[in-house]
Amino acid sequence: MNFLEFRDQTRARRFSELIRELAPEEDITIMHVCGTHESAICEYGIRSILPDNIELVEGPGCPVCVTPTLHVDEALELCSHDDVILTTFGDMVKVPGSRDRLTEEMENVRIVYSVAEAVDIAEKEGKEVVFFGVGFETTAATYAPVLLEGPENFSFLGSVKKIPPAMKFLLENEQVEIDGFLAPGHVSTIIGSRPYRDLSQEYRVPIIVAGFEPLDILVAISELLKLLKTDGEVVNAYRRAVEEDGNLKALDMIDRAFEVEDATWRGIGKIRNSGLKIKEGRLDAREKYDLDVESDESNVPPGCICDEVILGKSKPDKCDLFKSGECAPQNPVGPCMVGSEGMCNVWYKYGGRPEIE
């Protein structure tokens, strides 16, 4: 596959014209829920070619950003065990807990690129290794096989979430106005396009499964605009990667490794049936270390508006800490700046909706 065909300028122009024709008079908000979408939207300056009354917002699409303070506090608690090596993704370092955050300088913290690397450490070094794993369904699919067969000295501190229940929550939330969703391409390769169907019909919103090339996104936005006045419909605009039923093998593994639970999302609160909890008690770090940590989820750093950004109610450039540079990737205040998929982090890199004279 040649990615250049998805960046063809002539076709992009055609779709941006189509989007202008289809755009309604009134303001509309399109939410996506994926850090990779936000990156692509910014990298290709998609907002600069949309009509001003179409807002594209990220929503809770960054798994690092929505990890509750409790889970960070639990990871910190595990670090107090001298014999434990706590492994996690680089982005989880610096995410604020209720009092403290993990740092790379901590002796028993190790940054890994995958859960497999964590298992490797457990097997090679023979010490107790905990993997602090965050993510959505896409990442859950990579965790599942390890959780089903990991070694005895390995355990899992999970913060794994499901996207569709969060979308449902946002649609029910009266403070958040969403006219349609771009469904996340990566998550959808696992869960398929089917899970969006009920949501779309119940709340009468269009949901378009979108890929990550600029044309993918422009096509998805134009499809969404066509369906604005309808009763809601799901369109799979990322057929080259997403099937209606998803990846059955991966789903089966997720089913065997995890069970559904209610989960807390930072900045949002508890969302029903939105979490994936490890089924096999054997590898559950919470059971193994008998974790009983109390955490204050309401502890938001002063001035930080990440909670509103995560809900799609505000944007990074509305934040004083963002504007003043006080909150930046090298010195992040809120979670949306820590996670490389967070809207603040992506906007810092690309400049967001660019202020071009």
Partner 1 sequence: MSERVTLEEGAGGEEMINLLKKSILPYIEGRGGEVELGVRELDDGAVIKVDEGKYIIFTTDSHVVDPRFFPGGDLGKLAVAGTINDLAAMGGDPKVLSSGVVVEEGFEKAELEEISKSMGRTAERAGVPIVTGDLKVVGGGEIDGIIINTSGFGFSNKLTPSSGLKPGNKIIVSGTVGDHGMSIVASRENFDSSIKSDVAPVNDLVKSILEGDGVTAMKDPTRGGLAGALNEIASRSNVGVKVRREDIPVTSEVRAAGEMLGIDPLVIANEGKLVIGVEVSKAEEVLDAIRRHELGKDAEIIGTCTEDNKGKVILETEIGSLRLLKSPRRKPIPRIC
Phi-psi region of 226 (alpha: psi -120 to 50; beta: other; left: phi over 0): alpha
Rounded Cα–Cα distance for residues 37 and 210 (Å): 9
CB of 13 to partner 1, least distance (A): 6
Give the number of other Cβ atoms within 10 Å of residue 245's Cβ: 12
Q: Compute the distance between CA of residue 330 and CA of residue 114 in angstroms, rounded to an integer.
A: 23
Which of 232, 189, 236, 229 has its CA nearest to residue 209? 236
User: Interaction with partner 1 in 213-232: which residues (CB under 8 A)?
Assistant: 214-215, 218
Please tell me the distance from the alpha carbon of residue 262 to that of residue 95, in angstroms, as a whole number: 22
- Site for partner 1 contains 80 (CB under 8 A): no
Name the residue nearer to partner 1 (CB basis): 17 or 245: 17
Gap between the terminal Cα atoms of the chain = 37
Task: Assess 93 for contact with partner 1 (CB under 8 A).
Answer: no
The half-sphere exposure of 189 on its side-chain side, counting CA atoms within 13 A, is: 11
Residue from 28, 42, 130, 263 touching partner 1 (CB under 8 A): that is 42
- C-beta of residue 97 within 8 angstroms of C-beta of residue 64: no
Options 25, 124, 175, 356; binder of partner 1; rule CB under 8 A: 356
Backbone angles phi, psi at 130, to 5 degrees: -110, 135
φ/ψ (deg, to 5) at 96? -65, 135
Q: Which is nearer to partner 1, 164 or 184 (CB)?
A: 184
Is 72 a residue that touches partner 1 (CB under 8 A)? Answer: no
Interface with partner 1, residue 350, by CB under 8 A: yes
Smallest gap from Cβ 20 to partner 1, in A, equals: 13
Does residue 269 touch partner 1 according to CB under 8 A? no
9, 80, 175, 298: residue in contact with partner 1 (rule CB under 8 A):
9
| x-or-dash string of contact with partner 1, 307-336, rule CB under 8 A | ---------------------xxx------
Residues in the chain: 357
When the beta carbons of 116 and 248 are compared against partner 1, the nearer one is 116
Chain residues that interact with partner 1, rule: CB under 8 A: 3, 7-9, 12-13, 16, 42-46, 48-49, 90, 105, 214-215, 218, 328-330, 340, 345, 348-351, 354, 356-357
